[in-house]
Amino acid sequence: MQNNVFYTEVDLSKDPGKETDLIGLTGSRIVPAFLFEKKKWYRGTKKRHLIGFEVNQDEIKSIIANDSF
């Protein structure tokens, strides 16, 4: 946990098998990829993925700050 945000870091150079998971989640092999998940009490899980930090920096910060997307 960092900045009150739970996260899982995956290093594809150390675990190349996770690349298949990345493609399944984001549709791309591009890293870094950010996947935000929020459990809903009435309809499963809401997911939002963003590829790349610099171009999505403001949205990532907003999602973290507001705990919503």
C-alpha to C-alpha distance for 53 and 55, rounded to whole angstroms: 6
| The pLDDT of residue 19 | 92
**Residue at 54: amino acid letter:** E
Q: Residue-wise over 1-33: b if at least 16 C-beta within 10 A, else e? A: eeeeeeeeeeeeeeeeeeeeebeeebeeeebeb
Quick check: 1 pLDDT over 90?
A: no
Q: Where are the domains of the chain?
A: 36-69
- HSE-CB at 47 with a 13 A cutoff on CA atoms is 9
Q: What is the pLDDT of residues 10-47, one digit of tens each?
A: 899 999 899 999 999 888 888 899 988 888 778 788 88
Quick check: 55 pLDDT over 90?
A: yes
Q: Is the dihedral of CA 32, 53, 26, 29 positive or negative?
A: negative
| The pLDDT of residue 52 | 93
